[in-house]
Chain A
Amino acid sequence: MRLLLYMVKRLITNPYNVGWSILFMLFWVLMGAYVLSSNVPKIVNAEKFYTAAWAGVIELLVLSSSSMTLTIILNYQTGGLPHLLRYSKLTPTYYIASLYSSNLIMQIVYSLILIIAVYTTFSNHFGINLYPKNVLLIVITLVISSLFFTSLSIFLNLIILRSTRKMQQLVDFIPLILGYGFGFTFIYLNMGSLVYFSPFAAIEALIISSYLNTQIPINFATLVTDNYKVYAINSPQFSIPIALSSIIFWTIFLSLIGIIGLRKLYYKPLEEGRIV
């Protein structure tokens, strides 16, 4: 339990994590609410979809950037695991459970702060109450998404420890790169059914869908490119159960690799990551 409490305290209060995952995201929330919203037509439906789209993007980016922090933290911790798993009470299950739980608590706290920020600023700007309609589904999505991102961070660390620490320079950024990549692809391009294969796009679509508490088209880009004027209700609709199943599948798959891989670890010196 102590490892969990320690990790929660350090993850939530890490100044770099707060900087990138809260303050930088708050900057974009303000941009989305007060600067980039000038072209949104004065139609309630358009304002609702615009707000929900921003909520989806911001929540995905909060999860991605805070997962990058977790990946970097793991770079330092995993070096000692070969010793501790052999000569202490630390088990892979306890270690991984502490990581999942602490990351979950941190990411839920961060995500809720940002969703409240989206709600208050966008409501303030548009002059209507744009509260999230299905808070329960948002929380469920965040919980499952956080578990997915933790399993991804552990998996990425295993790649580093199984290959070379020089990979660290690239691998640490993968959650963020994929977050931005799939996040904006879903908004601006027609991903079709691929949205279910990418947990990143699925998370964003789930947040948008639950913020509105209505079905959204899989081809969300048609709405965005038309300034949210047309709701293409006749196009294929995004399926919440399929998206949730996809994220759960990815989480279980990556977690199993993580638990098996941690037992077979050996130390790789941090100095190996030095590139200059």
Chain B
Amino acid sequence: MIDLQNVSIYYGKDRIIKDVNMSINTKVLLLGPNGSGKSTLLRAIAGIIPYKGHILVDGKEVFSLKNENTLSTNLPEAYVLGLTINDVIYVYEEIKGIDKELVIGMLDKMGLRSILKKRIYELSTGQSVIFRDVLTLASGAKIILLDEPFENVDLGKRKLLAEWIKEYGKEGIIVTHEIDMVSYFKDLSTYLIFEGKIYGPIIAKDFLESSIIEGSATDNSLLTFEVAGRKFSLVRGNVGRRVENLTSLDRLYTLGE
């Protein structure tokens, strides 16, 4: 279980995450435009960067966690030990308990067995994302944190990846800014993040079938949020801009212009 209580995260003097409160004991989606703080929040939960407030993983404060092998992430910072793909698998099989056979099997299905002897920096962006996704899923961790797991991944491979994400890990956060990918996870609770503030949850299916209108709606409103000083509401029906036609949440910044 991930429990965030009044969490704020700063980069220098800039407050990137602003007093976030949320509690997660299943897999959820976290959607937000570029620069909204999605990855920053994952980094803090993964213990990579400091935070203010409380982040509890299975009841324990992340700051003081020691050797709790219950969480895996695809963040690149987690895979610093190893020069080649084979090296990384060799070392992380020991320290993270990843299932080597499962990793190789998954890479095989993705048509990526040939990357095993390559160095990490020789991978394409998409190959790197897939490899880190696979390591995360094959670790057997109860909690998974996936930051943009579909970025630069081919359409055909995205579907397979989405099936694995549904299959492995009991809890976790799947971060994306691509609305298209939400359709693979229609049953999951979905949170939205804008300018460091979290809104939600709503069910992914409801989110996809909703429309966005500017202002605070009173009827049929699912959620109200603020972007660049403007209020928007997610409402049922076809009254505004259909969410499924947005493609990316970044489009909100130009909505109405």
Please report A residues at the B interface, Cβ cutoff 8 Å: 1-3, 6, 10, 76-91, 266-267
Contacts and interface: CB of A to CB of B under 8 A. Distances in A.
B94 A89 contact: yes
18 contacts: A1-B94, A2-B90, A3-B81, A3-B91, A79-B80, A80-B79, A80-B81, A81-B80, A82-B48, A83-B75, A85-B47, A86-B66, A88-B92, A88-B95, A88-B96, A89-B69, A90-B95, A91-B66
B47 A86 contact: yes
Interface in B41-63: 43, 46-50, 62
Interface residues of B, number: 34
Given A83-B78, A266-B49, A2 B94 contact: yes
A114 B107 CA distance: 44
B218 interface: no
A6 B87 contact: yes
A88 B65 CA distance: 10
Secondary structure call for the B interface: loop
Interface of B: 43, 46-50, 62, 65-73, 75, 77-83, 87, 90-97, 141
Given A2-B91, A6-B90, A267-B49, A87 B79 contact: no
Given A86-B47, A88-B69, A89-B69, A80 B77 contact: yes
Given A82-B48, A267-B48, A87 B83 contact: no
Contacts of B141: 87
Given A83-B75, A84-B78, A10 B83 contact: yes
Contact of A77 (B48, B75, B81, B93): B81
B91 A267 contact: no
Contacts of A10: 83, 87
A81 B80 CA distance: 8
